[in-house]
Structure 1
């Protein structure tokens, strides 16, 4: 699901930056033009979102980018976190390093754990801030998977180089190390 569409969809951008074949990418179930949270964008665009239609495919590996944050309403009475609780897929929380990152990251991790949604770890995005990263790890107990600096201009080669320099691919497959799950 994506709202505020102008030009490329997120799926198109991922295809361009990753080089993955089209059959490896799942297109947006809903493409909304109004730049607002999905529940409002759908209402203004005259679209009814059927949450039963939002189901992950049975193939791995799978990366799902949610529309907005965990508490973002997808419909008038169903939020992103409720969808994640239904799916029970391991979550990688992506946190942009800015003022407020500690608070919103800890709140998000607590909300995931409270609903027994498995957390694979946290990925930080932006300029390095060791104190922020360590504080979140120490308080939450979540694994820090790495930090992706801003990449500009953004193209496939620069993104790949940056990702491979900052992350270990094995960490993203290490489901035995989930935090907040029943293992």
Structure 2
């Protein structure tokens, strides 16, 4: 099973969720496009959070120098991102966690966006975080995925519970609630492992 982790925006908890899911399933991990922070990339972070020895961490297809939208970061590096150069790793692991960059309509080049990376056999986990406008962003994300008939595994909410927002999102989308990542003071291997144990059962049922 290939799980594509996307967010409703940037900095909503996508990488933390990816680490928890990778740990829970002892999955392999791959972030196709990294823009900026190459010395402490999302792959570095997930590797540092994961405790199991089974997970393998694949290199980015594109490692761009500037922390910006991938299309701009690529332009600043003097290249153009091409989907044909983003090849899914040939993993022998039963599970592969694929982390996107920002939201699903973040541009990669003049024509393609993150949603174009999602293959028919992927299941998408949407990470939603509560802020003013997040209901709209979550509903738009889910509707865009549904319009393309992309398989949505469910939603993870990141941050303190907000029943008013969550009930609207779950009722309107019909998406499965996979769990919540609380507003923790910090994350380390032990915290990630605790969450992985919480998430494991529902993830194995996808």
Which bin holds the TM-score, normalised by the shorter protein? Answer: 0.7 to 0.9
Find out whether 1:13 has 2:45 as its counterpart.
yes
Q: Which residue of 2 aligns with 1:171?
A: 202
Partners of 1:26 and 1:6 lie apart in 2 by 14
Partners of 2:43 and 2:67 lie apart in 1 by 17
**Aligned-partner SS, 1:75:** coil
Identify the structure with the greater strand proportion: 2
* One of 111, 121, 141 as aligned partner of 1:77: 111
- Measured after TM superposition, the shift of residue 105 of structure 1 is 0.6
Find out whether 1:64 has 2:98 as its counterpart.
yes
The TM-score, its normalising length taken from structure 2, stands at 0.77
**Aligned-partner SS, 1:26:** coil
CA RMSD of aligned residues (A): 1.8
The TM-score, its normalising length taken from structure 1, stands at 0.85
**CA deviations over 1:85-138 (Å, ceiling 9, x no partner):** x34400000111222121111110000010010000000111111221111110
Q: Which residue of 2 aligns with 1:179?
A: none
* One of 20, 32, 35 as aligned partner of 2:67: 35
- Measured after TM superposition, the shift of residue 21 of structure 1 is 4.2
- Measured after TM superposition, the shift of residue 23 of structure 1 is 6.0
Number of positions where the alignment pairs a residue of Structure 1 with one of Structure 2: 172
Q: Which residue of 1 aligns with 2:189?
A: 156
Structure scoring higher RCO (CA < 8 A, sep ≥ 6) equals 2
- Measured after TM superposition, the shift of residue 58 of structure 1 is 4.3
**Aligned-partner SS, 1:110:** helix
Partners of 2:124 and 2:192 lie apart in 1 by 21
Q: Is the 8 A contact 2:51 2:193 kept in 1?
A: no
Which blocks of at least 5 consecutive residues in structure 1 are unaligned? 176-183
Which blocks of at least 5 consecutive residues in structure 2 are unaligned? 1-32
Partners of 1:3 and 1:57 lie apart in 2 by 20
